[in-house]
Amino acid sequence: MNITKDSLGAFLFLVFSLAYGFYAWQIVPLPIEARDAVTSSTLPKIYAGLGALFSLLALVLSFTEAKSEAKGAGFSRRAMGRTAALLGLMLLYALAMEPLGFIVATLAFLLAGYWVMGERRIKVLLLASVPVVVLFWLVMTRLLGIYLVSGSLWS
C-alpha cells in the first residue's frame, strides 16, 4: 500500500472532521433555542458532516488514483514549508481575532493564506477573500444572529 500526500491529507482531515463532529454534538442548546430548528450546534454539525463526507471521498479517490499511477508523490520541502506557514497563520489568526475583530482578522488570514499558497494576482486575492468574509459575516450575524467579535482596537 502506497501512502501519498493526498491520502494522508484526506485521512488527517477525516480525523479532524470526526473530532470536530464529536465536539459539535457536545454543544448544549440554550434554553431559548429549545423550539428553534436552527440552534448554535447546527452549523458545526453540518460542517463536521460535510468535512467527513468530502474527506472520505478524497481518501477513496486518492487510493484509486494511487493504484492507477505507479509513482507516488512524496513530500517536498516547499510543501512542508507552506504547511508550516499556514499553521503559523492559523495561530496568528486565533491571536488576532480579539483585537482586530472577525472581519479584519479573517480578511488578513485569507489574503495571507492565498499568498502562501502561491496566488500573487491582487485581483484574484481580493475577489476570493472579501466577498467570502462579508457574506459569511452577514449570514452569521444578520441571518443566524450569532455574535462575532468586532475587535477591541476599534472600540
Question: What are the tens digits of pLDDT across the range 34-83?
Answer: 788 888 888 999 999 999 999 999 988 888 876 666 554 566 788 888 99
Query: How much is the pLDDT for 74?
Result: 60
pLDDT tens for 136-154 read 999 999 988 888 888 888 7
pLDDT given for residue 30 in this prediction = 83
The residue extents of the domains of the chain are 5-65, 77-144
d(Cα 150, Cα 110) in Å, to the nearest integer? 17
Exposed e or buried b per residue across 63-92, where buried means at least 16 C-beta atoms within 10 angstroms of its C-beta:
beebeeeeeeeeeeeeeeeeeeeeeebeee
Over the stretch 82-97, which tens digit does the pLDDT of each residue have? 999 999 999 999 999 9
The pTM of this model reads 0.57
Please state the length of the chain: 155
% pLDDT > 90, the chain: 55
Q: How far apart are CA 37 and CA 144, in angstroms?
A: 11
- With cell 507516488, the residue in question is 72
**Running DSSP on this structure, what letter comes out for residue 30?**
P
CB 116 within 8 A of CB 89: yes
78: phi then psi, degrees, rounded to nearest 5? -65, -45
The rounded Cα 142 to chain-centroid distance in angstroms is 21
Q: How far apart are CA 55 and CA 2, in angstroms?
A: 18
The Cα 141–Cα 144 span in angstroms is: 6
